[in-house]
Amino acid sequence: MKVLAIIPARGGSKGVPRKNVQLLGGIPLIVHAINCAKASSKVTKIIISTDSEEIATIAKENNYEVIMRPDELASDTSNVVHTVEHVYKTLNEDFDIIVLLQPTSPLRTGKDLDSIITMFERNTKLDGIISVVPFDDLHPARMYNLGTNNELVSFIENGESSRRQDLNPVYYRNGCFYAVTSQSFFAEKSFMVKNKEAYIMNPEWLINIDTPRDFKIASIIYEEWKNENFNY
pLDDT at residue 169, rounded to an integer: 86
pLDDT at residue 179, rounded to an integer: 98
Residue pair 128/184 in contact by the 8 Å Cβ criterion? yes
Tell me how far apart the alpha carbons of residues 51 and 29 are, in angstroms, rounded to a whole number.
16
Q: What is the pTM of this model?
A: 0.90
Cross-strand bridge partners of residue 154: 144
Q: Coil, strand, or helix at residue 226? A: helix
Tell me how far apart the alpha carbons of residues 97 and 53 are, in angstroms, rounded to a whole number.
28
Number of Cβ within a 10 Å radius of residue 144: 13
* pLDDT by residue, tens only, the chain of 232 residues: 999 999 999 887 776 778 899 999 999 999 999 999 999 999 999 999 999 999 999 988 888 899 998 878 777 777 889 999 999 999 989 999 999 999 999 999 999 999 999 999 999 999 999 999 998 778 888 888 898 889 988 888 777 777 777 778 899 999 999 999 999 999 999 999 999 999 999 999 999 998 999 999 999 999 999 988 874 4
Q: Considering just the CA atoms, what is the radius of gyration of the chain in Å?
A: 19
pLDDT at residue 83, rounded to an integer: 93
pLDDT at residue 158, rounded to an integer: 74
pLDDT at residue 232, rounded to an integer: 44
pLDDT at residue 11, rounded to an integer: 81
Tell me how far apart the alpha carbons of residues 87 and 50 are, in angstroms, rounded to a whole number.
10
